[in-house]
Chains A and B, each alone.
Chain A
Amino acid sequence: MMSQATMSRYVIQVENLDVFYGEKQALDKIQMSIEENTVVALIGPSGCGKSTFLRALNRMNDMIPSVRINGAITMHDENIYDKSIDVEMLRKEVGMVFQAPNPFPKSIYDNVAYGPRVHGEKNRKVLDEIVERSLRQAALWDEVKDRLKDRATGLSGGQQQRLCIARTLAVEPEIILMDEPTSALDPISTAKIEELIQELKRKFTIIIVTHNMQQAARISDRTAFFLSGELVEEDQTDHLFSNPHDQRTEDYITGRFG
């Protein structure tokens, strides 16, 4: 579906995206372009539409019956809302990590092997390799390599979240969406995941929602500020924080509201 030879340097181009929940408009004419191998942070007060935007990118919003979407999201010059798009294939390319760690009630190994298995990989050796590689990429391998058969729900919260990242990596996506992945974690686990994101950026494009502006400043290349369904400003992270163009952005990042 997604050809390697790409014409534009953008992996994702969002054009005039509107999202409605029933009558309520959650996103209004969003325009954004995202380059390959960057980390983009989405910030903004609660309810401004960050999660809605993120979930538009892998069409998770489709599962809510009342949702209506206008506009286009182009990945590698294909509109992902086109009728011909295979949503499962899209989600394989656009992985997602959620706010609260949500491992399957299975073993550590089976969690990571789950995606490849569903997509048809049966060879035990290949699966072993995928599991090890994904766990290494998620900086979890050393902690769990001796207990791959243990239940994933027995891991700490931070380990569970890294397991969820490994599980996402195992499907070999191109883009990874993260919705406040550290908001349920302690500072040490958070630091580990931030470090991990820096590593992952070399191979993946990462879009991350965060309520923590220091986090956005630390890990992202670009930052987008949302307010009541609008994309107010999107810029290089250091510019946006040091020299915001819009008054509302300045008010938000200086803590005057939100």
Chain B
Amino acid sequence: MKNHSLATLGRFRRKRTLGRVWESMIPKFLLACALVSVLTTLGIVGTLLKETISFFTKVSLFDYITGTKWTALFNEAQQSFGVLPLIAGTLLVTGIAALVAIPIGLASAIYLSEYANPKVRKVVKPILEVLAGVPTIVYGFFALTFITPLLRTILPDMGVFNAVSAGIVVGIMIIPLIASLSEDAMSAVPRSIREAAYAMGCTKLEVALKVVVPAALSGIIASFVLGLSRAIGETMIVTIAAGATPRMTLDPTDSIQTMTSFIVQAATGDHSFGSIAYGAIYAVGMTLFIFTLLMNLLAQYISRRFKEEY
């Protein structure tokens, strides 16, 4: 009996074939691929940290955070490193973008999820996703050569470079992201809940605004936050259309400079390695990184904390 069963088992014993070796190597290979991106990210953060720390040995952190004058690229006697104007510029553009993108994005999502018939949705949703893939330099030129001239027919005194034109176009750029993510969140609301509301005599609009939007609110807000975090990090459009004038202002018709467009300006100019202006690139980069990181954490927190159980 015993012999017999062992003999049978033997047929299932592993054989070390070439195929098997190959099979066992695949997970290691895949792990290595995954590590590449993790290590790269760590490397970036590491460099950012190192250069930022070295920058703050030369410039006081307090002056950086509270200063209202940013002249990093001037000669050394006139240099001033108050980051607030860059933050103000960034927030101004982001605020304008939010005013454009949130209502339009949400309205598009409501239309797609609640009103559009399935055929329309099948066509429009992929188009939205294609829009999300348009290179931002295209949007930048759109801002400079179309939106700005258009705005200047209404406000003839406005300069060629201004925050509002860039902000509007950044907003247009993030509409697809907000619409698409909000639509996902709204489509995830079960049909049975909508039916309950219809069966009580709610109109389509009441169902959309008073049932579906509240039920999908966590996903919708997360989409806003993600969209705005992209607006904060957006570079090309603001570099092309918003100007390069660091300024503490809330006037959207002014020319301003954002954190990102400062980095472009500084990185494309020639500043000797190790100079303070060079270090400023990293300090601003770090500031930007902290902003977008916080926004992303906020988005995650919101969608987890307020997640609906249906």
Interface residues, chain A, with chain B CB atoms under 8 Å away: 58, 60, 63, 65, 88-92, 95-96, 98, 100, 102-106, 114-115, 118-119, 153, 164, 167-168, 171
Q: Determine the chain B residues whose CB is within 8 A of the CB of A114 once the complex forms.
A: 197, 200, 210
The answer to whether B195 touches A65 (Cβ under 8 A) is no
Does B310 lie at the interface of the complex (its beta carbon under 8 Å from any beta carbon of A)?
yes
- How distant is B212 from chain A, measured CB to nearest CB, in Å? 10
Per the bound structure, the CA–CA distance linking A2 and B203 in Å amounts to: 19
Per the bound structure, the CA–CA distance linking A102 and B192 in Å amounts to: 6
The answer to whether A60 touches B196 (Cβ under 8 A) is no
User: When each residue 181-225 of chain B gets 1 if its CB lies under 8 Å from chain A and 0 otherwise, what string results?
Assistant: 000000000101101111111110010001100110000000000
The answer to whether A167 touches B200 (Cβ under 8 A) is yes
The answer to whether A118 touches B206 (Cβ under 8 A) is yes
Shortest Cβ distance from A119 into B: residue: B201
Per the bound structure, the CA–CA distance linking A114 and B309 in Å amounts to: 18
- How distant is A221 from chain B, measured CB to nearest CB, in Å? 24
Per the bound structure, the CA–CA distance linking A119 and B202 in Å amounts to: 8
Q: Determine the chain B residues whose CB is within 8 A of the CB of A102 once the complex forms.
A: 190, 192-193, 195-196
Per the bound structure, the CA–CA distance linking A17 and B199 in Å amounts to: 21
The answer to whether B196 touches A88 (Cβ under 8 A) is no
The answer to whether B215 touches A89 (Cβ under 8 A) is no
**Residue from B201, B203, B206, B215 in contact with A104 in the complex, judged by beta carbons closer than 8 Å:** B215
Determine chain B's interface SS by DSSP, over half rule.
Answer: helix
Shortest Cβ distance from B210 into A: residue: A118
Interface residues, chain B, with chain A CB atoms under 8 Å away: 117, 190, 192-193, 195-203, 206, 210-211, 214-215, 308-310
The answer to whether B200 touches A60 (Cβ under 8 A) is no
The answer to whether A105 touches B310 (Cβ under 8 A) is yes
Per the bound structure, the CA–CA distance linking A89 and B196 in Å amounts to: 15
Shortest Cβ distance from A154 into B: residue: B309
Q: How many A-B residue pairs have CB under 8 A?
A: 65
The answer to whether A118 touches B199 (Cβ under 8 A) is no
Q: Determine the chain A residues whose CB is within 8 A of the CB of B215 once the complex forms.
A: 104-105
Q: Determine the chain B residues whose CB is within 8 A of the CB of A88 once the complex forms.
A: 201-203
Contacts A118-B206, A153-B309, A153-B310 known; A104 to B200 CB distance under 8 Å? Answer: no
Shortest Cβ distance from A99 into B: residue: B192
Q: Determine the chain A residues whose CB is within 8 A of the CB of B190 once the complex forms.
A: 102
The answer to whether B196 touches A164 (Cβ under 8 A) is yes
- 9 A-B pairs (CB sep. < 8 Å): A60-B198, A91-B201, A100-B192, A102-B195, A103-B196, A105-B215, A118-B200, A119-B201, A168-B200
The answer to whether B309 touches A105 (Cβ under 8 A) is yes
Per the bound structure, the CA–CA distance linking A98 and B190 in Å amounts to: 13
The answer to whether A115 touches B195 (Cβ under 8 A) is no
The answer to whether A95 touches B200 (Cβ under 8 A) is yes
The answer to whether A96 touches B199 (Cβ under 8 A) is yes
Given A88-B202, A88-B203, 5 more contacts at CB 8 Å?
A60-B199, A98-B192, A100-B192, A104-B211, A171-B201
Shortest Cβ distance from B190 into A: residue: A102
The answer to whether A91 touches B200 (Cβ under 8 A) is yes
Q: Determine the chain A residues whose CB is within 8 A of the CB of B199 once the complex forms.
A: 58, 60, 91, 95-96, 98, 168
Per the bound structure, the CA–CA distance linking A45 and B55 in Å amounts to: 78
- How distant is B129 from chain A, measured CB to nearest CB, in Å? 25
- How distant is B208 from chain A, measured CB to nearest CB, in Å? 12
Per the bound structure, the CA–CA distance linking A105 and B310 in Å amounts to: 6
- How distant is B270 from chain A, measured CB to nearest CB, in Å? 58
Per the bound structure, the CA–CA distance linking A168 and B202 in Å amounts to: 12
The answer to whether A98 touches B195 (Cβ under 8 A) is yes
Per the bound structure, the CA–CA distance linking A89 and B203 in Å amounts to: 10
Shortest Cβ distance from B192 into A: residue: A102
The answer to whether A118 touches B196 (Cβ under 8 A) is no
Q: Determine the chain B residues whose CB is within 8 A of the CB of A89 once the complex forms.
A: 201
The answer to whether A106 touches B214 (Cβ under 8 A) is yes
The answer to whether B202 touches A118 (Cβ under 8 A) is yes
Per the bound structure, the CA–CA distance linking A102 and B215 in Å amounts to: 13
Shortest Cβ distance from A164 into B: residue: B196
**Residue from A65, A96, A104 in contact with B117 in the complex, judged by beta carbons closer than 8 Å:** A65
The answer to whether A98 touches B201 (Cβ under 8 A) is no
What 10 pairs between A and B have smallest CB-CB spacing? A92-B201, A96-B199, A102-B192, A91-B201, A105-B308, A88-B201, A115-B200, A102-B196, A153-B309, A105-B215
- How distant is B102 from chain A, measured CB to nearest CB, in Å? 22
The answer to whether B196 touches A104 (Cβ under 8 A) is yes
- How distant is A116 from chain B, measured CB to nearest CB, in Å? 10
Per the bound structure, the CA–CA distance linking A91 and B215 in Å amounts to: 22
Q: Determine the chain B residues whose CB is within 8 A of the CB of A105 once the complex forms.
A: 193, 214-215, 308-310
